Amino acid sequence: MELKLIESFVRVAEMGSFSRASAALDIPQPSLSRHVRQLEQEMRSHLFVRTGRGVELTEAGQCLLSYGQAILELTRKAHAEMDALQGKFTGRVTVGLPPRVAQVLAPVLVKSFRSRWPKAAISISEGLSVSLREDLILGRIEMAVLFDPAPTPKLEWQSLFREELVLCGRPTRTHPLPARIEAAALSHYPVMLPAMPNAIRSLIETHCGARGIVLNVVAELDSVQSLLKLAVDGQGYAIVPRGSASHLAPGVKLSSIEKPAIRNNLVLAYSRQRLLSRLGQATFDLIVAHDLGALLTN
């Protein structure tokens, strides 16, 4: 099975059109059609059916597509690894970042990556830690920065930064915000938290549940910034990472939570089932070298 036949088949399947695939591959359409016919003869199956809008995969074509994509991806990685052995980093690495981390890390990471390896490419995938963890396990991304990932034998990670959580809002006579507040006192505040299965929410629930602290949750929002906006508006009190609440409106205060303090653990993770490529390992080391704590808290 020749690689050019597989590539032709995959591009036609992905684009749903021989003409578009021909343009993308920069080969004449008759040659592209010949490649697909050769592959169909080798597979002893029809791979496409024509429609009014182009072509669609047959059942056999759908079966072959995933294998074809995997073969092309392995070929790309093999070429990249051979280049890396000669000190020439090529290929692509995909890094998952939570939105708040992406805001501060992505600009410096992409800049330093491009300056070191101009012939390689980096792709940033943004998402909540729960989604990024799943993408890592399924092999959709090569590494990811995660908040407090649930223990699993499928992932390996290195801790980057531990950030304390604080109570944020507008102090009142009934709900003052001293410089420090004991965790048990959180039950007296109308608090606003991310909805489950958000990593911050899981961390808060674990700490409070273990100590019998029942929170009065009046609102749930996935975005930390949305929680802070409601806290600024006086709608309740948000429990958020300190770095996210560094620039607040006048009259809004923070209380450090103690006895015990609640700190999240920001880690850089990769799958134990898939070895990092040489470019991936170099990117992993590059992320570790950045002072993520300083980026998040400044």
Domain boundary among 54, 85, 116: 85
Whether 88 has a pLDDT exceeding 80, the answer reads no
In a shared domain, residues 187 and 251: yes
Q: Which helix (H) or strand (E) holds 132?
A: helix 129-138
Q: Do 291 and 149 reside in the same domain of the chain? A: yes
Segment 225-230 long-range contacts (CB within 8 Å, at least 24 positions apart): 227/192, 227/193, 227/194, 228/168, 230/192
The CA distance from 260 to 243, in Å, is 19
* Residue 66 token pair: 């995933």
Helices (H), 220-273: 224-232
User: 12: domain CATH number?
Assistant: 1.10.10.10
pLDDT value at position 60? Answer: 94
Total count of domains within the chain: 3
One domain for residues 99 and 142: yes
Domain residue limits at 25: 3-85
- Bridge partners for 143 per DSSP: 95, 270
Per the structure block, which two tokens stand in for 203? 């961390």
Instruction: Specify the pLDDT at position 107.
Output: 96
Half-sphere exposure of 2 (CA within 13 A, CB side): 11
pLDDT tens digits, one per residue of 119-174? 899 999 999 888 999 999 888 999 999 998 888 899 999 999 999 999 999 999 99
Q: Is the same domain home to 28 and 47?
A: yes
pLDDT at 52: 82
Range name among 6-20, 68-82, 192-206, 276-290 with the lowest pLDDT average? 68-82
